[in-house]
Amino acid sequence: MSFRCIVKDASGYKTISDEALLIYNQKVQTTFSKTSGNVTFKVQYPENITCGMPTTFKLSSEGTTDKVQYALYSLTTEDGTIVYDTSYGSNGKFFSKDSFDFTFYASGTYYIRFAIMDTGVSPYVWFNTGLYGIKLVIDDKGYPTVENVVADLKAQCGKTCTTDFEKAVWFNDWLVENCRYDSSYSYCAPEGALARGSGTCEAYHRAYVMLLNSVGIATDRISGDGHVWTGVQLDGNWYHIDTTWDDAGYEDNSVDLQHLYFGLNDELMNQIHSSVTSSNGISAHSLEDNYFIKTGKIKKWSDQYVSTIREHLNNGENTFDITINDSMIDSYKQIIYYLVAYQLSNTDWGGEKLTVTYSENILHCVVE
């Protein structure tokens, strides 16, 4: 049996196992108390919180009626980042039970706030424990801080990646492979994506920002249609990268979904979303570092049209259309064939300047 800790109780000092330590940590409790008027609100919780297992917060009150209820009001990191979104659904609603369980997955400093409401008196009683009332300092060796997770991933990335493009792809792929979308819309902090393995689009975006910024890559927050993704500067140009949508949760043999939304420009994103807003007003016009363009993988689709285009050009045609026969899902096709049009427009046609655009299953070709 392995031992790692010495604790003291009424009988003196003793060495305990890891398993016993978990039980010990849950038994040693601390209590927060706040009084407003005739009501005292108490929150009891473990003095030493262990990650990866539920932490129980026991709620009680004095001077209240049988109609008293409690609610989780907020849970944030030390810098104010929301960890658990109490504004969504029933997450922040009042409940009649006298306890609340939450599982932490990263060490660090948190502030948790509970609210009390007693509707059995008039006027009814309502107050909370205060923004900085309950401070939780978690130091669990098996669950590093989010900052340490980022530092570790930065080191791993540096072993194989040298360019900013390679690093941005590596971090994108790590998030896709290690996180799943949080359909409960609860976990919106980097902690969700980097430690918990589950997060909303906000969690994906914020985690990606932390990872990219750790290697000196500039970022921006971009939103549209109630969704959030990341603006990324690569080789002096800005691009849209949506790590959430790159994590489709399934595979499609027709296209690489893991990189479908990597390195898009403003024009394409405005076709995908009805409204696109950049926090810092960036403009993204380049496609040079788009994943499919940069890696040359777009040629899987574009090369099949080269001979047809050459035939039209050899016949002296200055304007012609090519019909696309592809069973790919329309939303995927919209992106891939936009990139195909870009690739074909930048192909050497023996002195001819050809502009190709895509819309509704048609490649429109015009000789300038």
d(CA 148, CA 173): 19
Query: 254 with 226: CB under 8 angstroms?
Result: no
Q: Can you tell me whether residue 214 is helix, strand or coil? A: helix
Q: What is the rounded average pLDDT of the residues 39-65? A: 98
Quick one: pLDDT band at residue 360, thresholds 50, 70, 90?
very high
In a domain, 21, yes or no: no
Q: How big is the CA angle at 119 (ends 114 and 122), to the nearest 5 degrees?
A: 125
d(CA 287, CA 343): 10
In this prediction, what percent of the chain has a pLDDT beyond 70? Answer: 93
Reference 141, options 44, 21, 55; nearest CA is 21
pTM: 0.91
**pLDDT value at residue 27:** 72
For the chain, the average pLDDT equals: 94
Is residue 10 pLDDT above 60, yes or no? no
In a domain, 260, yes or no: yes
Claim to verify: residue 185 and residue 205 sit in the same structural domain: yes
Please identify which residue in the block is written with the tokens 């499919």: 292
d(CA 292, CA 299): 8
Quick one: pLDDT band at residue 1, thresholds 50, 70, 90?
very low
In a domain, 8, yes or no: no
Q: Pairing state of beta strands 54-62 and 29-36? A: unpaired
d(CA 35, CA 72): 18
The model's pLDDT over 153-167, given as tens digits with 9 standing for 90+, comes to 999 999 999 999 999
Claim to verify: residue 98 and residue 180 sit in the same structural domain: no
The model's pLDDT over 245-279, given as tens digits with 9 standing for 90+, comes to 999 999 999 999 999 999 999 999 999 999 999 99
In a domain, 6, yes or no: no
The model's pLDDT over 77-98, given as tens digits with 9 standing for 90+, comes to 999 999 999 999 999 999 999 9
Q: How many domains does the chain have?
A: 3
Claim to verify: residue 108 and residue 231 sit in the same structural domain: no
What CATH number is attached to the domain comprising 63?
Answer: 2.60.40
In a domain, 305, yes or no: yes
Claim to verify: residue 275 and residue 177 sit in the same structural domain: yes
Quick one: pLDDT band at residue 9, thresholds 50, 70, 90?
low
The model's pLDDT over 99-136, given as tens digits with 9 standing for 90+, comes to 999 999 999 999 999 999 999 999 999 999 999 999 99
Q: Can you tell me whether residue 321 is helix, strand or coil? A: strand
d(CA 20, CA 27): 11
In a domain, 20, yes or no: no
Q: Is 216 left (phi over 0), alpha (psi -120 to 50) or beta?
A: left
Claim to verify: residue 131 and residue 74 sit in the same structural domain: yes
More confident residue, 39 or 368: 39
Claim to verify: residue 291 and residue 150 sit in the same structural domain: yes
d(CA 248, CA 257): 7
Quick one: pLDDT band at residue 17, thresholds 50, 70, 90?
low
- Backbone CA torsion sign across 6, 10, 12, 15: negative
Is residue 238 pLDDT above 60, yes or no? yes
d(CA 335, CA 269): 9
**pLDDT value at residue 2:** 43
Dihedral angle of Cα 142, 146, 148, 154, to the nearest 10 degrees:
130
For residue 324, the enclosing domain spans 299-367
Q: Which two tokens stand for residue 238?
A: 């800005």
Claim to verify: residue 171 and residue 111 sit in the same structural domain: no
Claim to verify: residue 272 and residue 355 sit in the same structural domain: no
Which run of H or of E encompasses 62? Answer: strand 54-62
Please identify which residue in the block is written with the tokens 């975006």: 205
d(CA 149, CA 320): 53
Claim to verify: residue 307 and residue 343 sit in the same structural domain: yes
d(CA 221, CA 240): 10
Is residue 71 pLDDT above 90, yes or no? yes
What does each C-alpha distance from 211 to 126, 155, 169 come to in angstroms?
41, 11, 11
Which run of H or of E encompasses 174? Answer: helix 164-178
Q: What is the rounded average pLDDT of the residues 179-199? A: 97
d(CA 117, CA 154): 46
Please identify which residue in the block is written with the tokens 């948190």: 110
Claim to verify: residue 242 and residue 357 sit in the same structural domain: no
Weakest mean pLDDT among 22-26, 254-258, 306-310: 22-26
Q: Which of 104, 122, 138 is where one domain is finished?
A: 138
Q: Which of 122, 138, 154 is where one domain is finished?
A: 138
Claim to verify: residue 186 and residue 274 sit in the same structural domain: yes
d(CA 79, CA 259): 32
The model's pLDDT over 57-70, given as tens digits with 9 standing for 90+, comes to 999 999 999 999 99
Claim to verify: residue 219 and residue 130 sit in the same structural domain: no
What's the per-residue H, E or C state across 215-264? Answer: CCCCEEEEEECCEEEEEEEECCEEEEECHHHHCCCCCECCECHHHCCEEE
Q: Which of 86, 103, 138 is where one domain is finished?
A: 138
In a domain, 5, yes or no: no
The model's pLDDT over 138-188, given as tens digits with 9 standing for 90+, comes to 999 999 999 999 999 999 999 999 999 999 999 999 999 999 999 999 999
In a domain, 360, yes or no: yes
